[in-house]
Structure 1
Amino acid sequence: MFDRLISYLDSIRARDPAPRSRWEILLYPGVWAMAFHRLAHWLFEGRLYFLARFINHLSRWLTAIDIHPGAKIGRNLFIDHGFTVIGETAEIGDNVTIYQCVTLGGTNPTNGVGGKRHPTLCDNVIIGSGAQVIGPITVGERARVGANAVVTDDVPEGATMIGLKARSTLVPAETWLREFIPYGTPCDEPCEELRGGAEARVEKLERELAELKAELAAMRAASAPDAPPTRRRKTGNAA
């Protein structure tokens, strides 16, 4: 257990440059929230729902992080700062990073049966500040959700989601950083549409280039030594 705790603290230190020691990380609200959740989830699995909820409420009061006791969370979840909500049927893989004010929310089932209604985050996912990930969707491995994005559809593996409603930039995360992207948003702002808009701009540039080439060829032909002399129009009265 002690080795797992050290590994967990080191995984947070690798993603956060702020702490100077492991002792400092032990004061993080996200670390305390996860400790409370492990206990609450154990009670929830044992059908001790009231006790699980009590631990959940205590944790929320102390950390400003609300994790439903039923949520399934893998190893090394790093919740950086508070005001995060994780729903009952949410599933989170290993080495996931969630920044402040994030919601892993559910949708209202139309058939009246609860079932799976919260997101599933695969391994190494990063959720940026203020993002809302809603419904029983899957966020693929190493995907990134940018700050304040609203995601209601499945996210492909390695995609970066931006906007409201979120759309994929179709840029693999490995293009921007090999291991980790703070806040889930690449620093070089690759947040423009990479499909139709880019193709239209390329076609426009090609047309302009062809026109410039034609004008240049005409100018060269006019300045050639064997070019016929051009007639000048008389502007004054004849003598």
Structure 2
Amino acid sequence: MFGRIKKEINAIFERDPAAKSVLEVLLCYPGLHAILMHRVAHALHRKGFIVLARFISQVSRFLTGIEIHPGAKIGEGLFIDHGSGVVIGETAEIGDNVTIYQGVTLGGTGKEKGKRHPTIGNNVVISSGAKVLGSFSVGDNVKIGAGSVVLKPVPPNCTVVGVPGRIVIQDGQKVGSAYPPDLRHDQLPDPIADMLGQMQNEIDRLKQKVNELERECCQLKAKAEGAKE
């Protein structure tokens, strides 16, 4: 138990430059509190103490603003930064060294029974406000941009942005397990801005062509008038 707590604390120091001391992390990080309470609730849930497990998860939600269903399976090294509004569903599975920012939802769709929440791989970064909805897998080393809505499987080593989520980088820069997670979720491509930029370039090109044709017409008109005189 203490070894696992140490890993959770080390994950915070690795990924949050604001963390200054172990005491600060233990007292002031709701993400850590939510994870530790989930470990207890999950153990009770597995032993069949469903109501008690749910009660602990609701107490955790009240104290931290993070709701993790006791049935969710969470690997080691999960870091929930800030954490307010994070929701993790019953059948969600999260791998090792995953980073989740505030407002993230790992949810389901519809009312079907069984596996209905996503499976998140290792070294995944899910940025603020992102929603991952449905029973599918998100591969290792994936980055999901802020506010994205992911509704279908994502292969490893990809960057996903937009609504609905679109893969904009794949295998561009592989993040191996020997390296820390890439947390630069502020440096993501913007396919909409890229498309608007291409359209603007095309409009500028067409305007230039029209101006050239107008000048040629004026020159031809001037020559014709001069020939008549």
Which runs of 5 or more structure 1 residues have no equivalent in the other structure? 205-234
Checking the alignment, whether the CA contact within 8 Å between 1:144 and 1:173 is kept in structure 2 is no
Partner secondary structure for residue 174 of structure 1: coil
User: 1:6 is matched by which residue type in structure 2?
Assistant: K
Partner secondary structure for residue 83 of structure 1: coil
State the partner residue of 1:135. 134
Judge which range, 164-173 or 90-99, deviates more.
164-173
Deviation at 1:186, TM superposition (A): 5.0
State the partner residue of 1:107. 109
State the partner residue of 1:170. 169
User: 1:87 is matched by which residue type in structure 2?
Assistant: G
Q: How does 1:77-226 map to 2 (within 5 A)?
A: 77-81=78-82, 82-109=84-111, 113-172=112-171, 174=173, 179-182=180-183, 185-187=185-187, 189-192=188-191
User: How many percent identity over aligned positions?
Assistant: 47
Deviation at 1:137, TM superposition (A): 1.3
User: 1:46 is matched by which residue type in structure 2?
Assistant: K
Checking the alignment, whether the CA contact within 8 Å between 1:160 and 1:173 is kept in structure 2 is no
State the partner residue of 2:33. 32
Residues matched between the structures, number? 198
Larger helix proportion, structure 1 or 2?
2
Checking the alignment, whether the CA contact within 8 Å between 1:65 and 1:84 is kept in structure 2 is yes
State the partner residue of 2:46. 45
Write the distance in 2 (CA, Å) between the matches of 1:56 and 1:179: 29
Write the distance in 2 (CA, Å) between the matches of 1:175 and 1:49: 40
Deviation at 1:173, TM superposition (A): 6.0
Partner secondary structure for residue 161 of structure 1: strand
Deviation at 1:10, TM superposition (A): 1.3
Deviation at 1:191, TM superposition (A): 2.7
User: 2:153 is matched by which residue type in structure 1?
Assistant: D
Residue-by-residue CA offset, 1:9-54 (whole Å, 9 max, x unaligned): 1121111111111221112001000111011111111111110111
User: 1:98 is matched by which residue type in structure 2?
Assistant: I
Give the 3 Å change call, closer, same or farther, for CA 6–173 of structure 1 in structure 2.
Answer: farther
State the partner residue of 2:223. none
Q: How does 1:16-27 map to 2 (within 5 A)?
A: 16-26=16-26, 27=28
Write the distance in 2 (CA, Å) between the matches of 1:191 and 1:171: 15
TM-score, scaled to structure 2: 0.78
TM-score, scaled to structure 1: 0.75
Deviation at 1:185, TM superposition (A): 2.2
Write the distance in 1 (CA, Å) between the matches of 2:173 and 2:22: 28
State the partner residue of 2:74. 73
User: 1:146 is matched by which residue type in structure 2?
Assistant: G
Larger radius of gyration: 1
Deviation at 1:123, TM superposition (A): 0.6
Write the distance in 2 (CA, Å) between the matches of 1:7 and 1:151: 29
Write the distance in 1 (CA, Å) between the matches of 2:135 and 2:106: 10
Give the 3 Å change call, closer, same or farther, for CA 93–33 of structure 1 in structure 2.
Answer: same
Checking the alignment, whether the CA contact within 8 Å between 1:142 and 1:173 is kept in structure 2 is no
Deviation at 1:171, TM superposition (A): 4.1
Write the distance in 2 (CA, Å) between the matches of 1:32 and 1:138: 27
